[in-house]
Chains A and B, each alone.
Chain A
Amino acid sequence: MDSDKPEPAHLDLSALLEGLCKEKIAFILVGGLAAVIQGAPITTLDVDIVHQQTVENIQKLDRFLKSSDARYRRPDHKDIRPRTDDLKGKGHLLLTTKTGPLDILATIEKGRNYEALLPHTVEIEFRGHQLRLLHLETLIALKKGTKDAKDLQRLPILEETAKQLRKTK
């Protein structure tokens, strides 16, 4: 996320999450922010979600993206907005919105979709809404086979966090 957008003053990942929750969109928060919420002392500049691909949920997400002024993040800065059909596919939508970058993922490691991940999630209360996030232990398990340098660097921090969480149970 090295482009000029979003401008620093507009970045508010909490507001982005709250907006998704307010629209009652079925999604699982994955990636760095899910780890942050569970106690990992890392910093992340985007929101990664896996969405449920039902017709109703795609409509809700599509409405949210329109109201959030979502566009694809592109190195050439071409102004391309996501289409409803894009949300039905199996790929990753890497977007920028008025409150920050949002990555909408149909599946994550080894093709796991919303339904497959659901048993490995925890729900927390967030600003009066239920926010569902991928359990830290599952995040770690999925990242263990990664070749992504950023994920590899974070892995020991996530493992230490999980270790300390197990001790405090």
Chain B
Amino acid sequence: MKKILTDKPTPQNVKAKTDEGLVAMFIKMTPEQRLTANDNAARAILELRHGFRQTRTSAS
């Protein structure tokens, strides 16, 4: 059963909403693979934020 983390964790709900499958998938990777995945994700986040800022700038 897939469980999803919400934006507003409370002591009552956080435990039940962790994505256990995602954790299992990440544990299977090597440390180097995990670092690469994080680097790629971080770069993607920055690129998307950059695009978002550009859109807002050109709209104003």
Contacts and interface: CB of A to CB of B under 8 A. Distances in A.
Q: Do A and B bind each other?
A: yes
Nearest to A124: B31
B interface, how many residues as a size bin?
20 to 34
A11 B46 contact: yes
A164 B22 CA distance: 11
B9 A152 contact: yes
A14 B34 contact: no
Contacts, number: 91
A14 B39 contact: yes
A157 B38 contact: no
B20 A41 contact: no
A117 interface: no
Contacts of A153: 5, 7, 9
Interface in B14-59: 14-15, 17-20, 22-27, 29, 31-32, 34-39, 41-43, 45-47, 49-50
Interface of B: 5, 7, 9, 14-15, 17-20, 22-27, 29, 31-32, 34-39, 41-43, 45-47, 49-50
